[in-house]
Structure 1
Amino acid sequence: MTDESTPADLVLTGGRVHTADARDRQAEAVAVRAGRIARVGTAAEVAPLAGRGTRVVRLAGRSVLPGINDSHLHGVWLGAMWPSLLMDQLAGSGGHAHEAPSRLETSADRRRAILRTSGLLASLGVTSYTEPGLGPGEDGGPSGCFGSAALRDYADLAAEGALKARVTALMLFGELDGRSSAAELEKGLREFVPPADVPGRFRVAGVKIFADGIPPMRTAWTDRPYADGGHGALLVDGADDGEREAALRAMIGMAHGAGHQIGVHATGDRATRVVADALAAAMDRDGRDARHYVIHGDLLSPATLRVLASRRIGLNTQAGIPVATEPMLAAALGEDALRDAWPTRDALDAGVRLSLSSDAPVLTPDWRIGVAAAVTRRGVDGSVRGAAQRLALTEALRAYTITPAWQDGAEHEKGSIEPGKVADLCVLDADLLDLEPDALPTVPVAMTVLDGRVIHELR
């Protein structure tokens, strides 16, 4: 136990502290004691907590943010591929071509990949992330990045204190970006035992389900016809659309009934509508605040957004996707489809809990690029995609901090800089409010703090 007279371990003072609290208040200084935020306020208010053993960091106008939470990031896969990405042109990676990594055969291979990602994310100010889909459905997968053994590797590394981030994981009982069935999911829920939580570092929260594919590949399930006349289809087994939809609804009901959080990859307007309805129906049966969410949500009608908002179903999307792929979506479904495409502004205005993420290694894990894309909707060619869906800077920051904490069911523990919460912090080497959004990706991350401990620092 500590009291108010106990000196802080770390004080950051003389800058702009973006608290991301309910009122988006700003402060000048923050004090950290025993891994928790001890005080937030003016420099004068925080100064009394600086004692003989306190490390005092003079910010000189730099910005302090809550630790960044990338709420949809494939950590094992990223560690195996980096610096190659699936959209290198967006990542600004110097023209690295995509190369499929060698299969990760052993625990040592996977651990090296996880730790590589852990170090990379620490350098970017990321202190939490969600690993969205590891489990039996991929035990024989070609990459070795998504099988159930990776869950054990994460748990072991967390127990050893080797992870430089808090990791939430979803189980996968079907194929990555591929087929699944209600029978396989039911069997997995009954028989598969995930590793136990490692408090504060690793937790298996629920289940990932793939509803459909993606619009540019004409595999998203849509109401609008593609240029070739098709509508795509669900990835769930079934003889026709009706059987596949019934199976998907049954899968969502089973996972919810088993007490799990559910993240559903859904992109087409028909898929997102059915998924939202199925998630809402499952929650209505018992009233549980399950923190279910739609992943990607490329095409979302206003009616679907209203369902998400009314049932507290989250939306987890990537701002870099529209700026990179909007022309491909328009070519597949027509310009009219863009009215409902990646509606981040409309989602917030409807009351949907919006989380932004990288989907790395599809996109870069650099959240600064993600925030700039959300605020400007500008692609690398300078063109603006969907200007009406732009977010304000504070809204984009919340979508990388406090709202992902809500998705994790941990908004009372992390995601904002408030007394009593964990001391997870990201220090940027500039005042955010003095920057043009396009310049944000050029600003170095000066320091990353996890549980009050400095895990990255520019020298």
Structure 2
Amino acid sequence: MRKPDTAAPPRPADLVLTGGPVHTFDAHDRTARALAIGEGRITRVGTEDEIAPLIGPRTRVVPLRGQAVLPGINDSHLHGVWLGAMWPHLLMEQLAADAGPTAPMPALRTRDDRRAAILRTRDLLAPLGITSYTEPGLGPGEDAGASGCFGSAALADYAELAAEGLLSARVTALLLFGELDGPSTAGGFATGLREFAAPADVSGWFRVAGVKIFADGIPPMRNAWMCEPYPDGSHGSLLIDGDSAGQRQHRLEEMIHAAHAAGHQIGVHSTGDRTSSVVVAALRAASAGDGRAARHYLIHGDLLHPATLADMAAAGIGLNTQPGIAVATRHLLHDTLGADTLARMCPTRDALDAGVEVCLSSDSPVLSPDWRRGVVAAVTRAGVDGTLCGPDQRLAVREALHAYTTAPARQDGAEAWKGSLEPGKAADLCVLETDPLSIEVAALPDVAITLTVVDGRIVHERT
């Protein structure tokens, strides 16, 4: 005789989304039709019939009616304090205004000023479906900075807000021991590594992951360190202190080795091709043989030779970049670098094909934090006037979406618990009124985000 089934029935879900494409972005890129959430985690993904048994009397059911679910967006390079202080002004929009009226640089003087800026960013990002972001550079190197947006006090503000439950996106931070977009000294960097005590992590919500180093400037200003000369014959240089190119390079290498030895993830602002070659070699040497998955990465990586990309792939060094910046500054870049070099700017296609992990991000408030625009820039490489910047570097829509979700989860070292929609992972997701994989990409910025969920909690719902 068959024994009765004594297994306990499954616990009813807190929230169920059903009746539309659920793009899991798991290892097999499966698309489901429904998803259940309980206690902040995804409990089941599958067909509508498979999820139906988890609907209980207290379960909130959201009928998708064809709307699409994506993993929560992770803007892996976004200046949250600065964005909150600057909004609604964006640097690229001011540049496009041809030297018209510009917003004054913010001056955050108090704890309340900084907290208000962070919370303004929180309220801006939730309706965009952004559930995680990286604050790329806060620390004592900017404690005397005029803006008040990048000093070490902001780290404490983030930690406090996280502990108070007032954040609606998970924040990863990088420490800054030099000036933002400015010079660093090897001595000051070593002192910061040795003496600065970052705030403790707030589990799942705030974490200091490592350090940021500004290795060089940017090509339009001719202070990115280049192999070939600019039109005026100069090559740019590293931003590290030193009396010669060789000494600056040696000190940069020492900084990278010291940061890796201290257990930090390292994000290096590197735009010139000569800079990136030196940085990648130093990162490879620092991490060789120790077995640690450090997840070091280049920030921007405007110009990268094929050999540099191959070295990055071999060493697991990522690329965090913003095609929208190249597109927005294409005319300046053409005048500074020439057409042949411009075609290689922001080499996202080459990087992916070489096996490099590519994250797309906004660098906001340089660009808009609206990732939909970022996807369009990565897929079309077209400006508003239709001119192209590196059309051979275009990505597919699915690749661009992975670069805003699964790839940055790996940059965060958090792919085991976020970044894709799988049972057991954090219930971080967004719902779009139309499936972004079924429309022309140019229409994506007009597709509304109707729901944002973080840790199983609805933080945005379009009424």
Deviates more, 1:244-253 or 1:282-291: 282-291
CA–CA separation in structure 1 for the residues paired with 2:383 and 2:50: 43
Give 1:429 shift: 1.1
* Cross-structure match for 1:396: 400
The answer on whether the counterparts of 2:345 and 2:389 sit within 8 Å (CA) in structure 1 is no
* Cross-structure match for 1:424: 428
Q: Structure 1 residues 97, 348: closer, same or farther in 2, change over 3 A?
A: farther
Deviations 1:46-78 (A, max 9, x none): 111111110000101011000000000000000
Residue 121 of structure 1: which of 120, 125, 137 is its match?
A: 125
Residue 87 of structure 2: which of 73, 78, 82 is its match?
A: 82
Deviations 1:135-173 (A, max 9, x none): 000000010000000000000000000011100000000
Deviates more, 1:98-107 or 1:14-23: 98-107
The answer on whether the counterparts of 2:86 and 2:106 sit within 8 Å (CA) in structure 1 is no
1:452 to 2:453 alignment? no
Deviations 1:302-361 (A, max 9, x none): 011001100000000012112111222221122221343211011000000000000000
Q: Structure 1 residues 431, 285: closer, same or farther in 2, change over 3 A?
A: closer
Deviates more, 1:381-390 or 1:5-14: 381-390
1:363 to 2:367 alignment? yes
Q: Percent identity?
A: 66
* Cross-structure match for 1:32: 37
CA–CA separation in structure 2 for the residues paired with 1:4 and 1:392: 42
Residue 53 of structure 2: which of 42, 48, 55 is its match?
A: 48
What is the TM-score when the length of structure 1 is the normalising length? 0.97
The answer on whether the counterparts of 1:224 and 1:333 sit within 8 Å (CA) in structure 2 is no
CA–CA separation in structure 2 for the residues paired with 1:51 and 1:371: 38
* Letter of the structure 2 residue corresponding to residue 174 of structure 1: G
Taking the TM superposition and a 5 Å limit, the aligned residue runs for 1:151-300 are 151-300=155-304
Aligned residues: 456
Q: Spell out structure 1 runs of 4+ moving beyond 4 A.
A: none
The answer on whether the counterparts of 1:80 and 1:113 sit within 8 Å (CA) in structure 2 is yes
CA–CA separation in structure 1 for the residues paired with 2:81 and 2:453: 22
For the residue of structure 1 that corresponds to 2:308, the secondary structure is: helix
1:323 to 2:327 alignment? yes
* Cross-structure match for 1:301: 305
* Cross-structure match for 1:376: 380
CA–CA separation in structure 2 for the residues paired with 1:341 and 1:116: 33
Give 1:7 shift: 0.3
What is the TM-score when the length of structure 2 is the normalising length? 0.96
For the residue of structure 2 that corresponds to 1:199, the secondary structure is: coil
Residue 416 of structure 2: which of 412, 416, 425 is its match?
A: 412
Gaps of 5+ in 2: 1-6
Gaps of 5+ in 1: none
Q: Structure 1 residues 53, 319: closer, same or farther in 2, change over 3 A?
A: same
Q: Structure 1 residues 316, 4: closer, same or farther in 2, change over 3 A?
A: farther
For the residue of structure 2 that corresponds to 1:190, the secondary structure is: helix
CA–CA separation in structure 1 for the residues paired with 2:426 and 2:9: 17
Residue 438 of structure 2: which of 415, 430, 434 is its match?
A: 434
For the residue of structure 2 that corresponds to 1:170, the secondary structure is: strand
CA–CA separation in structure 1 for the residues paired with 2:417 and 2:36: 16
For the residue of structure 2 that corresponds to 1:340, the secondary structure is: coil
The answer on whether the counterparts of 1:354 and 1:403 sit within 8 Å (CA) in structure 2 is yes
1:11 to 2:16 alignment? yes
What is the root-mean-square deviation in Å for CA atoms of aligned residues? Answer: 1.6
* Cross-structure match for 1:340: 344
CA–CA separation in structure 2 for the residues paired with 1:315 and 1:341: 13
The answer on whether the counterparts of 1:82 and 1:361 sit within 8 Å (CA) in structure 2 is yes
Give 1:107 shift: 0.5
The answer on whether the counterparts of 2:71 and 2:428 sit within 8 Å (CA) in structure 1 is yes
For the residue of structure 2 that corresponds to 1:433, the secondary structure is: coil
The answer on whether the counterparts of 1:90 and 1:364 sit within 8 Å (CA) in structure 2 is no
CA–CA separation in structure 2 for the residues paired with 1:90 and 1:75: 21
1:63 to 2:68 alignment? yes
CA–CA separation in structure 1 for the residues paired with 2:323 and 2:69: 23
Deviates more, 1:3-12 or 1:414-423: 3-12
Deviations 1:178-219 (A, max 9, x none): 010111011001110000000010000000000000001101
* Letter of the structure 1 residue corresponding to residue 366 of structure 2: V
The answer on whether the counterparts of 2:201 and 2:208 sit within 8 Å (CA) in structure 1 is yes
* Letter of the structure 2 residue corresponding to residue 458 of structure 1: R
Specify the structure having the higher radius of gyration (Cα): 2
CA–CA separation in structure 1 for the residues paired with 2:70 and 2:203: 23
* Cross-structure match for 1:311: 315
The answer on whether the counterparts of 2:398 and 2:437 sit within 8 Å (CA) in structure 1 is no
The answer on whether the counterparts of 1:83 and 1:96 sit within 8 Å (CA) in structure 2 is no
The answer on whether the counterparts of 1:90 and 1:380 sit within 8 Å (CA) in structure 2 is no
CA–CA separation in structure 1 for the residues paired with 2:28 and 2:233: 48
Q: Structure 1 residues 97, 431: closer, same or farther in 2, change over 3 A?
A: farther
Give 1:285 shift: 4.6
CA–CA separation in structure 1 for the residues paired with 2:407 and 2:353: 15
CA–CA separation in structure 1 for the residues paired with 2:26 and 2:278: 34
